[in-house]
Amino acid sequence: MKRIVIITVGMVALLYAGDYLAVRLRIPHSRDPYGVVRVRSYYVVPQKNGKPEFYFLEPQDQVCVRSLFPHLGYKPCWYLRRRTQNRIEM
């Protein structure tokens, strides 16, 4: 059982390292490692009567990285494309 856990952790570490090197070294060279996703944020403010009131902000472009994992302080593009709305609770 120990051996399976060690092998699994090692393979995930290798996958993360390879993903990081692909972003950092631009592998393949013809691919841009960064992308842009438009995200719309809005505030949800609870009223005294219990109903929420919504305040929508201007959509903003957010930089993302084209990889499986987050790198260099950016979220992966596949993650941001699935979450194009950012709900902020007050």
In the predicted model, what is the mean pLDDT of residues 54-70?
A: 95
* pLDDT value for 85: 94
**Residues sharing a CB contact under 8 Å with residue 42, sequence separation 6 or more, in sequence order:** 54, 55, 56, 57, 85, 86, 87, 88
Render pLDDT for 33-51 as a digit per residue (tens, 0 to 9): 999 999 999 999 999 998 9
DSSP H or E stretch at residue 70:
none
Task: Give me the amino acid identity at 57.
Answer: L
Is beta strand 34-46 parallel, antiparallel or unpaired with respect to 60-65?
antiparallel
* pLDDT value for 54: 95
How many CA atoms does the CB half-sphere of 39 hold within 13 Å? 20
Domain residue limits, the chain: 2-89
Is this structure's pTM higher than 0.85? no
